[in-house]
Chain A
């Protein structure tokens, strides 16, 4: 039986492979090709070499967006994971109404990014109103607005992943550590963390890539205002591709650079955290 399946492995893999090729490989390949072209719509491309990449890197908007995105990603990954982990610890302590809390914290994740963006736009403008300011008054407002929004949306999800990790820690280990006289901190650092390393890998991966690729929330909350100071990479690519005459190729080149960066970050992070995972 096993042998038969192995023999026909390729046949069974074919549907997925076909879908993957049609929906991902071909468009991606076309995208990379288009980044070397000058075009108006995807059907009338003309090859022009690396000119688009040169223009992309000499575009100050792109560089600013890259810096802003990097800063945002660092801040939001740290805050989301720390807060989500604290919540997860609290909600595995058999407090009354734990399930209710878990549900409530998870809820924001069910709302779409655009809607969340507009909701927070109203909330933040409402808060700033007495101070005669709006979210577009200063880029720092936009930055922290995005961080708050992203935290609000992602914490619940990450919390659930951490909870499942924490619940899988064998009580024996914790008990043994206690008997050996470990303090709460020692238990946390030497037992809990190594044991939930797989959860940390997943959470870091999800927050890192989601923060870096953020588009909807950015578009709805600030749309880059004031000026283009709060414009993140994905939004900058969108605006370059659709908003500027003759810049489609440059937008495409930016998108290719963007995919490479995201892939590089994600793979490095996976490699680093995976290597720390232990067998329980």
Chain B
């Protein structure tokens, strides 16, 4: 019995020692990579680093809709340079979760994505300084990057725009009906006009061959970002515009006044009252389903961004022609909105993992440089990835050819119009968005008053901001 205990004790001690040693390894690995503030390594690209020893870099991709395109690009890069690019893609809405677990592994992602200043706060221990990289220096507008003090920690790689997408073929059909409210879609330049037209279209929906003017307001959990984030951007922009950048103002605001709550209600009610799906059933609708409704011609309008063209054209039985898909700004009834443009901005920033060794960091940066400056890379960015890349390495004839991206470029080029900046980057947390989305669902199902939705959004803003501050300490 005695020897039994001894062996047991020994083996336990051994196991613990292994555990402790493993722990030590992890720690030292972390700090040599730059977790310590004291010996912060110089910015990536500042000194020449020999990258010949690097065999593999790891890119954690945010956009599932283009994951196969990235695979092809990675294969080509390996062929040209011999460096293997491991591409992993997170499922829609799962990026933060996947990044958190991948970062804990022994071969963490070397290139990852942050969604703006809030994402940077979350990952600041892992973001390398990119101010010396070619990628950053190629940016058309340096103010787009995520910065902190002197450092540059996130470089935007795609500008996107969203608004109300409409099917011009159906609009033409409407305009041809007797006593149509407009002669041309260009006449729609305010919420009042939009409402008039939409309600008239709903009345004539049998003649127009549609089931509703708008596609389903998808409020299934995880599919409600078009409303709790994108649509919310409009009232946020108007509340926080003024002096300085609206994103910064929004980010620094401890409270939400929700001054334009009624405007939000205007457009949200218009969407749901004139939808091709009954209000009570919106809780089970996904973005894919509502895009399919648009693609098959069941509805005439849908709120989404330029990334949606791939989704629309990919639906089996798609009836929307490339020439017929256009954008309208999201009008909500704010004074002076006749000059309002689309919501244009970015939440796609590349970041380099500062906790991997310098050579790997450098190799990762080289891959991104190659992607955005080499001929093959640029072609892939424009044609396959479909990005409107904000770098001056792209000439005018190297812009995407898909119809919605062209529309975004058209709106961007119209200097008379006021772009609605992506202010939602300043929303305190994902939790706020989820709570607001759930509230919207309950409102639309008739289980919650609008005033309660607004009050909860406001109080949740305050608590979430405090929680975020607490967490950042």
Q: Which residues of A contact B (CB under 8 A)?
A: 7, 9-11, 13-14, 17-18, 21-22, 25-26, 29-30, 40-44, 121, 125, 129, 132-138, 223-228, 241-248
Whether B430 and A243, one on each chain, are in contact in the complex, defined by CB atoms closer than 8 angstroms, is yes
Instruction: List B contacts of A136 (CB < 8 A).
Output: 220-221, 283-284, 441
4 other A-B residue contacts (CB within 8 Å) besides A227-B438, A246-B468 = A30-B19, A40-B100, A242-B101, A244-B430
How many angstroms between the C-alpha atoms of A11 and B10 in the bound complex?
11
Q: Which of A18, A21, A223, A226 has the most CB of B within 10 A?
A: A226
Q: Which among B35, B284, B438 is the interface contact of A135 at CB below 8 angstroms?
A: B284
Q: Identify which of residues 401-450 in chain B touch chain A, using a CB-to-CB cut-off of 8 Å.
A: 429-431, 434-435, 438-439, 441-442, 445, 447
* Smallest CB separation, A142 vs chain B (Å): 11
Q: Which among B96, B104, B438 is the interface contact of A243 at CB below 8 angstroms?
A: B96
16 contacts between A and B (CB under 8 A): A10-B4, A18-B11, A18-B15, A29-B19, A132-B278, A132-B281, A135-B283, A136-B220, A137-B445, A137-B447, A223-B221, A223-B222, A225-B283, A228-B438, A243-B97, A246-B471
How many angstroms between the C-alpha atoms of A247 and B122 in the bound complex?
11
Q: Which of A18, A43, A242 has the most CB of B within 10 A?
A: A43
Residue of A nearest to B222 (CB): A223
How many angstroms between the C-alpha atoms of A134 and B447 in the bound complex?
13
How many angstroms between the C-alpha atoms of A114 and B430 in the bound complex?
24
Whether B100 and A125, one on each chain, are in contact in the complex, defined by CB atoms closer than 8 angstroms, is no
If A42-B104, A225-B221 touch, does A245 touch B15 (CB 8 Å cutoff)?
Answer: no
Whether A134 and B284, one on each chain, are in contact in the complex, defined by CB atoms closer than 8 angstroms, is yes
Describe B's contact surface by its main secondary structure.
Answer: helix
If A132-B278, A224-B221 touch, does A43 touch B30 (CB 8 Å cutoff)?
Answer: yes
Whether A227 and B439, one on each chain, are in contact in the complex, defined by CB atoms closer than 8 angstroms, is yes
How many angstroms between the C-alpha atoms of A10 and B283 in the bound complex?
58
* Smallest CB separation, A238 vs chain B (Å): 8
How many angstroms between the C-alpha atoms of A43 and B29 in the bound complex?
9
* Smallest CB separation, B22 vs chain A (Å): 8
Instruction: List B contacts of A21 (CB < 8 A).
Output: 11-12, 15
Whether B471 and A247, one on each chain, are in contact in the complex, defined by CB atoms closer than 8 angstroms, is yes
Instruction: List B contacts of A129 (CB < 8 A).
Output: 281
* Smallest CB separation, B442 vs chain A (Å): 6
Q: Identify which of residues 278-320 in chain B touch chain A, using a CB-to-CB cut-off of 8 Å.
A: 278, 280-281, 283-284
Whether A44 and B30, one on each chain, are in contact in the complex, defined by CB atoms closer than 8 angstroms, is yes
Instruction: List B contacts of A248 (CB < 8 A).
Output: 100
Instruction: List A contacts of B7 (CB < 8 A).
Output: 10-11, 14
How many angstroms between the C-alpha atoms of A29 and B12 in the bound complex?
13
Instruction: List B contacts of A138 (CB < 8 A).
Output: 447
Instruction: List A contacts of B430 (CB < 8 A).
Output: 243-245
* Smallest CB separation, A52 vs chain B (Å): 11
Q: Which among B3, B30, B125, B468 is the interface contact of A245 at CB below 8 angstroms?
A: B468
Whether A226 and B447, one on each chain, are in contact in the complex, defined by CB atoms closer than 8 angstroms, is yes
Instruction: List B contacts of A17 (CB < 8 A).
Output: 8, 11
- Decide if B206 is an interface residue (CB 8 Å cutoff): no
* Smallest CB separation, A46 vs chain B (Å): 11
How many angstroms between the C-alpha atoms of A134 and B431 in the bound complex?
23
How many angstroms between the C-alpha atoms of A44 and B278 in the bound complex?
49
